[in-house]
Structure 1
Amino acid sequence: MRVTLSEVSKGPNRAALPLTSLEFHTGTVTLARAETERRPTVLGLIASGRMRPDSGTVTVDDRTDYGAIRSLVALVDAPGVCEPAADITVAEVVAEELMFAGRIGHRRAVARMLAAFGLADEARSSMADLEPDARIRLLTELAVLRDGVEGLVICSPDRHGGDPLGWWTVTNGLSARGYAVLVIAGDASAHAIAAVDPDLVVTTSGEAVSIVPSGPGTPAANPALTHAHAGADAR
């Protein structure tokens, strides 16, 4: 599966999202750099087929089909859209997500799931208190339980703090299992991730800055990082 965004934008004067082009596909991780409070969510909604851009195109495998994108791509932890409430417990989130996936969400099923994730001791913890890496691992693993999901769009994992290399490792594990993964995060996280891979070089094209592998390597080991440039647009 390949999802392609070509010169998409949103809002008056492109304030909600400036012109952005990126692609994410099976077996790879793409990091889209988006700053300001709302742009990561707007980009996530567009990339997952849940919002139509004001300009540009969004395609899946070279065809325009928003319904197919919504079915194939799970939107994860988008602020103000699908992020769990801060005071809801980890167990309650698991129970709800199991039901969304068409599975039984009773107490024993929740306990088994948390044990499988190494989070048995966190059942009664509030989601706001869950460590950032554990939060992203939990929410992504629950998302891929849904029938037909082949890709994930993860919004602003860096807003929870912690080391970005932690959740980046989680996303690379998902891509290695064959999922198409798009992570939308800020500039600081992008620089931290790029700094640990000597095979990454920066190329510039118009408003976009792409960090791409300079040599051969597997997609999971050398993910593409795409800068969705914010420009000078007002919020």
Structure 2
Amino acid sequence: MRIVLDAVAKRRAQRALPETSTSYETGRATLAVAETEQRPTVLGLIASGRMKIDGGSVTIDGRTDAGAIRRRVALVDAPIVSEPEPNVTVAGVVAEELMFAGHAPTPFAAQRWLERLGLASLASLPIGNVEAAQRIRLLLELAALRPGVEGLVLVAPDRHGGEPTAWWRTAEEFAERGYAVLVIAGRASRTALSAVPTEREDAR
């Protein structure tokens, strides 16, 4: 699967998102750079087929099909749109995602799932207090549980602090597992990752 964003823009005078081009594909992690409070989420919504564009094009495997992108790509941790409420416990977040994935959403099932990831100690912690690298791994694993998901668009992981190399390693691990991974972050993260071999596109 290959998703290409070609000169996409949003809203009059491109204020929400100026013309931006990037792409991501199966088996590869790609970093797109977007800044301001709003633009990373706007770009994430467009890249996952969840927002109409006012300019440019978005294609999946060479065709325009926003519905196919929505079905096959999960939008992960986008501020306001798909981020979990900060005061909900990790077990609560897991239980809800298990329900969306068609599994039993019980506290016992959530605890067992966390144990398999080695994150059982986080169960009673509010998700807003989880360290950045663990949060990103947790939310990517949960998104990957959903039926039919082949791509993951992770929005602004750098807003949680921590070392960019930690969440970037996780993104690359998911790419190695066969997912198409797009990470949207700021220029400071790009600089921190500059020594790491990767596919990157500036979102400008």
Give the TM-score range, shorter chain.
Answer: over 0.9
- How much does 1:223 deviate? 2.1
The answer for the alignment partner of 1:123 in structure 2 is 123
Structure 1: runs of 5 or more not aligned: 198-221, 230-235
One-letter amino acid of the counterpart of residue 15, structure 1: R
Q: Does 1:63 align with 2:38?
A: no
Q: Does 1:99 align with 2:105?
A: no
Q: Does 1:225 align with 2:177?
A: no
Structure 2: runs of 5 or more not aligned: none
How large is the RMSD of aligned CA atoms in angstroms?
Answer: 0.7
Question: How many angstroms apart in 2 are the aligned matches of 1:159 and 1:118?
Answer: 24
Question: How many angstroms apart in 2 are the aligned matches of 1:50 and 1:152?
Answer: 13
> What does residue range 94-173 of structure 1 map to in structure 2 within 5 Å?
94-173=94-173
SS in 2 for 1:41: helix
- In the superposition, the TM-score normalised over structure 2's length comes to 0.98
SS in 2 for 1:148: coil
Question: How many angstroms apart in 2 are the aligned matches of 1:75 and 1:33?
Answer: 16
- How much does 1:11 deviate? 1.4
Question: How many angstroms apart in 2 are the aligned matches of 1:35 and 1:41?
Answer: 10
Question: How many angstroms apart in 2 are the aligned matches of 1:111 and 1:119?
Answer: 9
- How much does 1:119 deviate? 1.2
- How much does 1:131 deviate? 0.6
Question: How many angstroms apart in 2 are the aligned matches of 1:98 and 1:67?
Answer: 23
Deviation per CA, 1:122-149: give whole Å up to 9, x if none: 1110011101000000000010111110
- How much does 1:116 deviate? 1.4
SS in 2 for 1:124: coil
- How much does 1:152 deviate? 0.3
Question: How many angstroms apart in 1 are the aligned matches of 2:105 and 2:69?
Answer: 26
How many residue pairs get matched? 204
The answer for the alignment partner of 2:78 in structure 1 is 78
Deviation per CA, 1:164-202: give whole Å up to 9, x if none: 0000010000000110000000000011011x23xxxxx
SS in 1 for 2:45: helix
Question: How many angstroms apart in 2 are the aligned matches of 1:121 and 1:178?
Answer: 28
Question: How many angstroms apart in 2 are the aligned matches of 1:17 and 1:116?
Answer: 40
Question: How many angstroms apart in 1 are the aligned matches of 2:92 and 2:107?
Answer: 9
Question: How many angstroms apart in 1 are the aligned matches of 2:145 and 2:153?
Answer: 15
More helix by share: 2
SS in 2 for 1:191: helix
* Aligned sequence identity (%): 56
Question: How many angstroms apart in 1 are the aligned matches of 2:52 and 2:152?
Answer: 18
The answer for the alignment partner of 1:40 in structure 2 is 40
Question: How many angstroms apart in 1 are the aligned matches of 2:105 and 2:36?
Answer: 36
The answer for the alignment partner of 1:213 in structure 2 is none
> What does residue range 187-206 of structure 1 map to in structure 2 within 5 Å?
187-194=187-194, 196-197=195-196
Structure 1 stretches of 4+ with a deviation exceeding 4 A read: none
Whose Rg is larger? 1
One-letter amino acid of the counterpart of residue 173, structure 1: E
SS in 2 for 1:172: helix
Question: How many angstroms apart in 2 are the aligned matches of 1:156 and 1:129?
Answer: 17
Question: How many angstroms apart in 2 are the aligned matches of 1:11 and 1:55?
Answer: 9
